[in-house]
Amino acid sequence: MKNNKIEENFEILRKLYTEPESSQRELAKKVGLSLGKLNYCLQALKEKGFVKIKKFKKEHDKIGHIKYVLTPQGITLRTKLTANFMKRKMREYDELKMELKK
């Protein structure tokens, strides 16, 4: 995965974990992606087995809602991406600290 794609997937998985019942429109806004790109990324994560998409129908409404559930593989990926993100940020911090000392 490219760095930008990794960060997008990290943000999507993070938001899905904390806000599984958000609409795609809400998720797209929070993650900073277009609705189309978010949908594309969600489908890719679903195909890879990282996310399950559950549809619920309300009894008296025609409009149902969707809940996104991270699979065990999705939780593992989120953990790896989080660790890599933190390592990268620590490296950037150390590099900035060294530059300031010069």
Q: What is the CATH number of the domain that holds 58?
A: 1.10.10.10
Q: Which domain holds residue 22?
A: 3-101
Give the number of domains in the chain.
1
Question: 60 or 102: whose pLDDT is higher?
Answer: 102
Specify burial of residue 72 (Cβ count, 10 A radius: 0-12, 13-18, 19+).
exposed
Contact status, residue 45 vs residue 75, Cβ threshold 8 Å: no
Which pLDDT value is given to residue 59? 57
pTM confidence score: 0.66
Which pLDDT value is given to residue 1? 46
Which pLDDT value is given to residue 61? 57
Which pLDDT value is given to residue 3? 63
pLDDT tens sequence across 25-44? 999 999 999 999 999 999 88
